Structure 1
Amino acid sequence: MAGPAIRGDVAPGWRPVREAFTAIMHRPGELGAGLHIVHRGATAVDLYGGSHGPDTRQVIFSASKGVAAACLAVLADRGELDFETAVARYWPEFGRHGKSQITVAQLLSHQAGLIAPARPVTLAEVLDGRPLADALADERLRWPPGRPAYHAVTWGTLADELVRRVTGGRLGEVLTELICRPHDLAISIGTPDGPPPAPVHAATRVPLLVRLTTTIYARPGTPLWQAMTVRGAIDEAPEVWVRRPQTLTAHLPAANAVATTRSLARLYAMLLPEAGTALVSGRTLRAAVRPRVAGRDRVLGIASAFGCGFALPSRAWRLGSPSAFGHPGIGGALGLADPRRGLALAFLPRSMPADALDDPRHRILLEAVAKVIGP
């Protein structure tokens, strides 16, 4: 059976990746996707299938965290933010209730234990950002630093408030003013202006084991449920919630960045040392992607690892190489870079995976890349 039409080009030697992308597009339920790869500073792959094209913009869910982490690295490179300094230096109220020694690096690597406030908050407070940030600043440490606890939504609220305390503006303004406008990238936090992004659709087939695991680990009251819903404030499925106008116009750096495939790959390419217009120095990049925490995640229930906002290779984050960094999203989006191999990659599908922590499309693509440039 014919799948979605494939358009675009690959450089000589990259045919295995085109074949892998084509195989993905022939999988049942696939509506379209984009794949863009930059290798050693040159475009190696620029492919689109089905309803996806070069100008298609879509919400990238938690792959937003990688975009936000790049913004924070830029601020660090400019000397405006120090990863090793206590958050309370920039945000004094954060230091209450035993949090005065939590560093920026610990906050950004999901060690602050602030996955949701102890008191219920409303969806309006989550979307506004500031009320949720105030509530989180008033929290006590749920867990001591030293193990990751994935802050699915609140990571972005905390990062945004940190940026506001440092610059007086919001994280999305840093993205626009310091990264996207100078380099002509189509990425934003939400869509305050312009047409809505292309929707991402739920998986059509969810295996029984995945449904059972979700029922157990994401039932109301569990850490995963608290982190994903901010203790029940978000009561719709992710693919439904992100389509709401109030979500699209909100400032949620952990969840609602909007990007084209090409721009997301170019952003990661500009973090690599050989980039002609590198966003940050090699020293800053090493600090941003240095492993800050690893181990069994208190929220996800499996091993995860983080730098300063970037996900690092682990059981939770399959990035194809021990030297890669980036971030996937629940919708199937993936953005990453690998300094050792000179690789930057973005994959944006229009259909969600059945299991966000084990998207077979990522494995297929990353294995094909390894055939071309090595593991």
Structure 2
Amino acid sequence: MAGATIHGEVAPGWRPVREAFAAIMRRPGELGAGLHIVHRGATAVDLYGGSHGPDTRQVIFSASKGVAAACLAVLAERGDIDFEAPVARYWPQFGRHGKSHITVAQLLSHQAGLIAPTHPITLAEVLDGRPLADALADEHLRWPPGRPAYHALTWGALADELVRRITGGRLGEVLTELICRPHGLAISIGTPDGPPPVPLQAATRVPLLVRLTTTVFARPGTPLWQAMTVGGAIDEAPEVWVRRRQTLTAQLPAANAVATTRSLARLYAMLLPGAGPCLVGGRTLRAAVGPRVTGRDRVLGVSSAFGCGFALPSRAWRLGSPSAFGHPGIGGALGLADPRRGLALAFLPRSMPADALDDPRHRVLLAAVAKVIGP
């Protein structure tokens, strides 16, 4: 990518971010990326490099959880869901086997201990969604609430079923009807119609320490392996599995949202108060993004922190500011908002990082933003 053309514009004073983005595009193995930043309600950065453009649609992997969390916040704002209520109020079968006390907030903040069914499940059942949700509802708690345990894929099935019980529709339908269609956002859960999104490329160079860590912590049977494969139902690498037609046409709110860079940033901007159309009020936003759990994650092995579906700053989630919320994805996607700084940001690269929990591109970009508007 040496000498790659950078397209787009930055507002006065934001040149350090353009320089940081250009430096990323010169890195070996970068195919292209988009970066969009909204600050205090106005577009500050709209940049594209390599094969990326304003209309490029991309699977954002676990950054999907931030999109889904925004949908749940909108339902809370409408009074359709209460974060403090037990899940069983809306989904009675979930209350079996000692889970009747688990609240919606605990479920959405990765405290329910349901990272995978204890009995084998097929890939078709994972992609369908409801069979996986039914299997999880029939489980006992693996761990008590109080510490996070990252539900890498099951979070989406649980959130989708909760929304279905409340609204009668799936989470992707709520996203379209309540958020994307009214506001012209190019985001969806899966791609049931239209051309497929651009493919992602796996990291070409994986440091020895990362390979060793993966060998130890993601070996078959470990919590990380169970969470990432749903107990072995998924047996392909993420960048391969996500290209399959059956994956792209499924609704997996934890993993297969498709978005443009600009639309993802605008979604986060609409969660911030006082800057154009706002999806939720201040009280709902505080309930959605306030800390619900923090500590050493039982799955990831490092400290993580969560609100109601949103990742919060921690060792696992580097979001650039203690007041930010959002979600990164294993492919390198990042979406976030920071109410204190009036910031909304989306970064979508086409090349995956070697270490999903420590993407150097995120550090570079967030440091450049801090140079412009402060930490």
1:98 aligned partner, one-letter code: G
Query: 2:232 matched to 1:235?
Result: no
Q: In structure 2, the residue corresponding to 1:36 is in which secondary structure?
A: strand
Q: In structure 2, the residue corresponding to 1:115 is in which secondary structure?
A: coil
Query: 2:185 matched to 1:185?
Result: yes
Q: 1:342 maps to which residue? A: 342
Is the Cα contact below 8 Å between 2:2 and 2:25 reproduced in 1? Answer: no
Structure 1 stretches (4+) deviating beyond 3 angstroms? none
Is the Cα contact below 8 Å between 1:117 and 1:136 reproduced in 2? Answer: yes
Q: In structure 2, the residue corresponding to 1:337 is in which secondary structure?
A: strand
Give how far 1:2 is off. 2.3
Give how far 1:3 is off. 3.8
Give how far 1:275 is off. 2.5
Give how far 1:5 is off. 1.4
1:265 aligned partner, one-letter code: A
2:334 aligned partner, one-letter code: L
Q: In structure 2, the residue corresponding to 1:164 is in which secondary structure?
A: helix
Is the Cα contact below 8 Å between 1:4 and 1:31 reproduced in 2? Answer: no
Give how far 1:371 is off. 0.1
State how far apart, in whole Å, the 2-side matches of 1:4 and 1:107 are: 44
1:37-62 CA-partner distances (Å, limit 9, x unpaired)? 00000000000000000000000000
Q: Map 1:211-226; keep pairs closer than 5 Å.
A: 211-226=211-226
State how far apart, in whole Å, the 1-side matches of 2:291 and 2:200 are: 32
Q: 2:176 maps to which residue? A: 176
Identity level (%): 90
State how far apart, in whole Å, the 2-side matches of 1:226 and 1:2 are: 39
Q: 2:163 maps to which residue? A: 163
1:32-86 CA-partner distances (Å, limit 9, x unpaired)? 0000000000000000000000000000000000000000000000000000000
Is the Cα contact below 8 Å between 1:86 and 1:101 reproduced in 2? Answer: yes
Query: 2:371 matched to 1:371?
Result: yes
Give how far 1:25 is off. 0.3
1:185-243 CA-partner distances (Å, limit 9, x unpaired)? 00000000000000111001000110010010000000000000000000000000000
Q: 2:265 maps to which residue? A: 265
State how far apart, in whole Å, the 2-side matches of 1:115 and 1:300 are: 12
Q: 1:68 maps to which residue? A: 68
Q: In structure 1, the residue corresponding to 2:155 is in which secondary structure?
A: helix
Q: Map 1:280-299; keep pairs closer than 5 Å.
A: 280-299=280-299
Q: 2:199 maps to which residue? A: 199
State how far apart, in whole Å, the 1-side matches of 2:239 and 2:4 are: 22
Q: In structure 2, the residue corresponding to 1:30 is in which secondary structure?
A: coil
Q: 1:23 maps to which residue? A: 23
Q: Map 1:9-158; keep pairs closer than 5 Å.
A: 9-158=9-158
State how far apart, in whole Å, the 2-side matches of 1:274 and 1:251 are: 32
Q: In structure 2, the residue corresponding to 1:327 is in which secondary structure?
A: strand
Q: 1:353 maps to which residue? A: 353
1:225 aligned partner, one-letter code: W
Q: How many residues align?
A: 375
Q: In structure 2, the residue corresponding to 1:21 is in which secondary structure?
A: helix
State how far apart, in whole Å, the 1-side matches of 2:4 and 2:206 are: 21
Q: 2:306 maps to which residue? A: 306
State how far apart, in whole Å, the 2-side matches of 1:76 and 1:235 are: 36
Length-normalised TM-score, structure 2? 1.00
Length-normalised TM-score, structure 1? 1.00
Structure 2 portions without partners, runs of 5+ = none
